[in-house]
Chains A and B, each alone.
Chain A
């Protein structure tokens, strides 16, 4: 059978040449490629030759766009005709910490309009740091009859009215995941908008919302959605109500409890414990708002098969955590508040040998008076007991170079090392030296390191180390660090795989910015705020590199020549047209 006979007429440029090389008919190639899920693999495939590029674009069903301004919806729709699932990320990450002005952009609506025309069978939409209005949510709800999954993480601009529209119209919805958003919570009536005939929900996460929902409506919803596997409740759901839900949903794999603090009678406690022990599939536990230590034993039956425990909203003490962890031998991921202190982290090291990820959040990040929280000792204790640890996010008030060296010696497989010493520019508290050697040890030892956040007092030496050793580094976050342009130059010159660089309050200027001239097109984005970059430096960059968008955000009352906040990213869509007046595109 001649391959050329099976070729589609629309995609054969140099057909003679490519048919000689191609040994598969298009349909077979597409079938094979359709099994490829990773978007990076797909990108690589599309670069092999024109045939493969076309086969890949026809077989792709999910598109991941890490920066919504790097491409336009029209370009995406033209290249990928068969998309059913879209993941879009918008604002720079520092918008989570209020460093990006309001109405900066990243509005989803223009995308939805194009999708409604080109992808009427769109099923999934996952957004991170995008602006989305109620009108957009309503438009989404009525434009896509097959719509199944909506996930909103760190988004803003919408209210519970938008959720009501989704609940009302999306008859095939399987997933509604609302996480950590700036949502205008107008009340819980949206939940009651799911029709009584609606049974398809598998994932429901409304932990982010504060108002009371109609519990009867929720109970009925959970009761009839037999495939529900993820349920994350908000704080308004009481322990007693939780028990009633669990009785009807023992199949749950992930549970976010509501408030874990009310007074229970003995009988209620026993019933709760019994309902939890029936949840044999449960591997993730979350929520536990205001958890009181005395009720934690009700969780023990579930703890034995837990792999992810998120206690970052429960201010537990060290002894309470220790008792709980004694029942969690299979834990792989643990998030806690620093109220557990070093003693609590010692218990982690003792009880959780399979631990791969640890995140320790500060309970009182802005209160300098109270001394609690965790120190280097806790981190070291975990490293001794958990050799498989590869992801850490650690907020602390003191650290030493020696401790970090020990930690990475015990755990050389770090892929994500995010250390936040909360006082800016704080040195090693014992030797008073900068923390350069700590991060030097990290990059020298952890050859698989992909993501690094540095803190504490750091000179250019830290960045020399990073540029020299961190060859797999993709994401770097820097704040209040460095001594001169040389630091950033080392990073730009040495980290060949760097994709995202975010810098604030560092003494890096134009020379540093321009040293990355060649590099920015291979990166997703660069953020620099409160550094020494000037408007002229930015203009030069914009002039030299026309395929980059160089955006400057000015602060009120600042010097005209200073570029207060700079955001640089590659784009094939050209400069954006929806920038607010405070954002200048050069």
Chain B
């Protein structure tokens, strides 16, 4: 829990968000250090990776970068690894450009009570019900149906999103295209909290 100390100095909204997720889960911290042996795999709870770090200190792996005691910056790349031919790398890079320009739009999704975030490609879901279904499947929870008057009242969870102005909005109010262009991240709130949003 020492990492909370860092947070208190930040002025970003994250610090004041009443989330139950462990601090340091998102990649808001630009200088996140990782041990190259233990990847910053978001499926792993941070505590586990800390334990593993100390274990791997004793193994003699030559990971081609710094020693185990001071993990190198997360983005350091090892030459020639993963072993992919340059040709394929170049092709993928230009494919990726096409994707970013025309296609995939990944945003982070946090759920109250979950220890780590997920990411979802908004462009994959042509309509709101599909997006909600995907969120339900991803987090194994029920969101239920949207109604203009009541929002998601009656369900355990409500999907909200942060828009370009930094406000937290209920998913479903605006046309999908407008939603896609303004959504920066998603947060699935617990129903009890969300009821405040639903009734205006």
Contacts and interface: CB of A to CB of B under 8 A. Distances in A.
Given A154-B85, A371-B119, 9 more contacts: A97-B80, A208-B87, A361-B84, A366-B77, A420-B82, A423-B36, A457-B37, A479-B81, A505-B63
Interface stretch (B13-21, B52-60, B151-159, B163-171): B52-60
Contacts of B60: 483-484, 507
A364 interface: yes
SS class, residues of chain B in contact with chain A: loop
Interface in A463-510: 477, 479-481, 483-484, 504-507
A507 to B, nearest CB: 5
Contacts of A507: 60-62
Q: Which of B51, B88, B124 has the most CB of A within 10 A?
A: B88
B4 interface: no
Interface residues on B, range: 35 or more
B81 A370 contact: no
A12 to B, nearest CB: 50
Interface string B105-132: 0100000000000110000100000000
Contact of A180 (B51, B87, B106): B87
Contacts, number: 130
B71 to A, nearest CB: 12
A19 to B, nearest CB: 54
A423 B52 contact: no
B83 A97 contact: yes
Contact of B86 (A96, A371, A425): A96
B66 interface: no
A5 interface: no
A77 interface: no
A480 B86 contact: no
Contacts of A317: 124
A440 interface: no
Interface of A: 94, 96-99, 154, 180-182, 208, 261, 289-290, 312-313, 315, 317, 361-366, 368-371, 395, 397-398, 420, 422-427, 429, 432, 457, 459, 477, 479-481, 483-484, 504-507, 530-531
11 contacts: A99-B79, A180-B85, A366-B77, A398-B41, A424-B61, A426-B39, A429-B43, A479-B81, A480-B64, A484-B60, A530-B64
> Which label, helix, strand, loop or mixed, suits the secondary structure of the A interface?
loop
Contacts of B181: none
Contacts of A504: 80
Contact of B80 (A94, A154, A208, A429): A94
By Cβ-Cβ distance, the 5 closest A-B pairs, closest first, are A97-B80, A423-B39, A425-B37, A180-B87, A425-B61
A368 B59 contact: no
Interface stretch (B94-102, B142-150, B172-180, B189-197): B94-102
Contacts of B83: 96-97, 420, 477, 479
B8 interface: no
Contacts of B51: 432
A530 B62 contact: yes
Contacts of A312: 88
Contacts of A313: 91, 95
